[in-house]
Amino acid sequence: MDNNPFLNAQQQIDDAAKYSDCDSEIIKVLKEPQRVIEVSIPIEMDNGKVEIFKGYRSQHNNYRGPYKGGIRYHPGVNVDEVKALSAWMTFKCATVDIPFGGGKGGVIVDPHKLSEHELKHLTQGYIDKIFDLIGPEKDIPAPDVYTNAQTMAWIMDEYSHIARVHSPAVVTGKPLENEGSLGRDTATAQGAAYVLYEYLQTVEKKLENTSVAIQGFGNAGAHLAKILYDSGFKIIAVSDSKGAIFSTDGLDPRAIEEHKEKTGSVKNFKGTKNIPADDILTLKVDVLVPAALENVITNKNATKIKAGCILEVANGPTTPEADEILEKKKIDIIPDILANAGGVTVSYFEWVQNLSRFYWSAEEVDSKLKSKMESAFSDIHNFAKKKKITYRQAAFALAINRIGKAVKNRGILN
């Protein structure tokens, strides 16, 4: 099998379905998106020339609530990628038991090559094309790769402008000044940390000096590095798209962040060794954190992985073939649909606050996030232990059960 992320997602569903209570007819429904939208977005560039950008939105499943999922701006965006990501969102929302289905969007673009003015017009053009299919009760986008709070503010503004009504709940991950939620910027990382703490306590491992390698020093990876560092973990390696650095003495993530802001990369940080970016995946560490793009752990490198466990902060970083290899090596994988669900959980909190127009303190958000993530891990750990299956199989099977019950109760297949 090639590393087609949508085929991988379907295989993960099939692999877990046998441990669920759902019949095969419901599984068939859950393996396909309900709708996939492709749009062409013409933009007048700063030089006066018109460029055409291709955009997508996959709406996988809304049986438990409105579609929910990010929008990414990346040159590698393709239809199979957004279909896979929308499917993972469906199962992710069910895993942490929040009332959303899965969606995902993307535009094929290298945002680093566009000015802020061009990015704003690209965002407006994309929303103009999909306006009828999104909304607070239909489909609620969020930030993803190379999109951020500013992008979300543009989306809210464009949607509100077309709808002629102030509509903050159409999108999450907004700036605080535009009715965003406290804690949203660190939610993915904080949620992952809470799950990791629970896992390590379950396997009776001390948190202090637990060694960690983080592949992907972007928003989630950098925030997680700081959270774990402050909790006594030892960050021995980090990487970005340009390379990786390693030090057995440990790294200060805040100092690395300053270095990256100045130089554009984590490479050449004083007192560390530069290593090839891919080598970070095969270091001997207690915790390996893939926090970049999908399909980085494959059958080609899984045999070389020496980590005690893998915390999947990226979406779909491990292929099904690699899963089998790692299971035989007895390396626990805390799957993406649990590990990185803190982002969509606090997005849900933001949406609730937007609809009620009542806003919570940072402490309230964090307390609710902690409770959700710990409860989800407990459910998955107990199910995995009972069925003698992996955490991924348990997470998908539990999610399938929750979605399947919603399908049956609504009589959708009757």
| Residues 134-180 pLDDT 10s | 999 999 999 988 999 999 999 999 999 999 999 999 999 999 999 99
pLDDT in tens, 342-399: 999 999 999 999 999 999 999 999 999 999 999 999 999 999 999 999 999 999 999 9
Which CATH number does the domain housing residue 283 bear? 3.40.50.720
Burial group, residue 369, by CB count within 10 angstroms (0-12, 13-18, 19+): buried
Apex 198 CA angle, 287 and 221, nearest 5 = 45
Same domain, residue pair 123 and 191: no
pLDDT in tens, 49-68: 999 999 999 999 999 999 99
Where residue 8 falls (left for φ over 0; alpha for ψ -120 to 50; beta otherwise) is alpha
Contact (Cβ atoms closer than 8 angstroms) between residue 140 and residue 67 = yes
Number of residues written out for the chain: 414
* Residue 172: DSSP 8-state: S
Average pLDDT score over the chain: 94
Domain boundary among 301, 334, 367: 334
Query: 45 Cβ partners below 8 Å, 6+ apart?
Result: 51, 118
Residue 158 lies in a domain: yes
**pLDDT greater than 60 at residue 414:** no
Q: Is 104 a catalytic residue?
A: yes
Same domain, residue pair 76 and 138: yes
Same domain, residue pair 155 and 294: no
**pTM across the whole model:** 0.92
Which one-letter amino acid corresponds to residue 259? H
Q: State which H helix or E strand residue 398 sits in.
A: helix 391-410
> In the structure, what pLDDT confidence band is assigned to residue 207 with cuts at 50, 70 and 90?
confident
pLDDT of residue 86: 96
pLDDT of residue 1: 42
Mean local confidence (pLDDT), 285-301? 93
Same domain, residue pair 191 and 330: yes
Mean local confidence (pLDDT), 293-303? 91
Residue 413 lies in a domain: no
Residue 119 lies in a domain: yes
pLDDT of residue 159: 98
Same domain, residue pair 157 and 108: yes
Same domain, residue pair 155 and 198: no
Helix segments in 235-317, DSSP class H: 253-263
**Beta pairing class for 287-290 and 273-275:** unpaired
Q: How many whole angstroms separate alpha carbon 283 and alpha carbon 74?
A: 28
Number of domains in the chain: 2
Same domain, residue pair 315 and 203: yes
Same domain, residue pair 98 and 144: yes
Q: What percent of the chain has pLDDT over 70?
A: 99
Residue 396 lies in a domain: no
Residue 50 lies in a domain: yes
Same domain, residue pair 141 and 212: no
Domain of 138, in residue numbers: 31-168
Which CATH number does the domain housing residue 102 bear? 3.40.50.10860
Q: How many whole angstroms separate alpha carbon 31 and alpha carbon 140?
A: 21
Helix segments in 171-319, DSSP class H: 187-202, 219-230, 253-263
pLDDT of residue 331: 95
pLDDT in tens, 21-53: 988 889 999 999 999 999 999 999 999 999 999
Q: What percent of the chain has pLDDT over 90?
A: 89
Domain boundary among 306, 334, 362: 334
Residue 352 lies in a domain: no
Same domain, residue pair 285 and 219: yes
Residue 392 lies in a domain: no
Candidates 83, 92, 104, 260; catalytic one: 104
Domain boundary among 334, 352, 374: 334
Same domain, residue pair 251 and 149: no
Same domain, residue pair 135 and 234: no
Beta bridge partners, 289, equal: 214
* Residue 410: DSSP 8-state: H
